[in-house]
Amino acid sequence: MSGRLQGKVAIVTGSGSVGPGWGNGKAISVLFAREGAKVVGADIDADAAAATQAMIRDEGGESIAVVADVSLAADVERLVAAALDAYGRIDILINNVGMAIVGGPAELDEATWDRVMAVNSKSAYLTCHHVLPVMMRQKSGAIVNNASVAVRGWAGVNYGFYAASKGAMVAMTRTMAIRHAPEGIRANCVLPGLMNTPLVHAALTRVYGEEGDIPNLIRTRDAQCPMGHMGDAWDTAYATLFLASDEAKYITATELLVDGGLSARFA
């Protein structure tokens, strides 16, 4: 039986995982391959990208891995060229790269602002800048950008810079979706809430107590969620799959919340 993405070519940025377990990009890449997509996985970490590629191939899927820092224009140009060289087209773009950081204008310096905006926002601009002309020639395409529920309000932690970077991504996605709708291109965002992923473990334990105390981080964040537990990478992956698939063919310029009801507390 054909998968939901059968014959599609998908670029997934941040396709590796920063630690053991399932990060968003790894889960998205593997799920897309299981649904029939040819996956072009990009990650700044060569070993992480290769691990995801190996998993896909071990399951009988098709994938290439590209080592790239997608906050750099030359790397993005090389990534898109590699996808076209391998498969001749690009049907789906998933912008999943991001860095989690706590603090806002009062706490963090200019260099940190520049880095957060480069990784979380500029990277999405660069990939869209190079992929959109391909999709425009094809008269079709789907872009899904991984933003955050942090754009909806205060979630108990000062995600000032992070929320600003993801808010920029949401605004760009909405306007891009309207601009390119007549060309058969859709663009949407997923807004994950509090998630239990290796990136969260690596970046945020200090916010919730002692650095490295992952059990305490999990307990604290679980308690903040209306459902009593955080989401995981597969929750993000399945939402992304829906928006990337033809099942969402009449959905564009919107945000899909994947937060277990969290944002209803501060809507």
CATH number of the domain that residue 178 is part of: 3.40.50.720
pLDDT > 80? residue 203: no
- Residue 171 covered by a domain: yes
- Residue 124 covered by a domain: yes
Q: How many CB atoms lie within 10 A of CB 227?
A: 12
| Catalytically active residues, by annotation | 162
Q: What is the spatial distance between Cα 157 and Cα 17, in angstroms, rounded to a whole number?
A: 24
Question: Apex CA 174: angle with CA 99 and CA 234, to 5°?
Answer: 50
pLDDT > 80? residue 8: yes
- Residue 58 covered by a domain: yes
pLDDT > 80? residue 194: yes
Query: Could you give the number of structural domains in the chain?
Result: 1
pLDDT in tens, 170-181: 999 999 999 999
- Residue 2 covered by a domain: no
Q: How far apart, in Å, are the Cα atoms of 62 and each of 34, 37, 38, 140? A: 9, 7, 5, 22
* Contact criterion met (CB below 8 Å) for 253 and 188: yes
- Predicted confidence at residue 213, as pLDDT, reads 82
pLDDT > 90? residue 71: yes
Average pLDDT, the chain: 94
- Residue 204 covered by a domain: no
- Residue 203 covered by a domain: no
Range of the domain at 25: 9-193+232-260
- Residue 223 covered by a domain: no
The band of 146, judged by pLDDT with boundaries at 50, 70 and 90, is very high
Give me the amino acid identity at 262.
L
Is the sign of the CA dihedral 75, 77, 78, 82 positive or negative?
A: positive
Query: What average pLDDT does this structure show over 132-138?
Result: 98
- Predicted confidence at residue 206, as pLDDT, reads 66
The band of 198, judged by pLDDT with boundaries at 50, 70 and 90, is confident
Query: What average pLDDT does this structure show over 191-215?
Result: 80
- Residue 148 covered by a domain: yes
The band of 157, judged by pLDDT with boundaries at 50, 70 and 90, is confident
Give me the amino acid identity at 232.
D
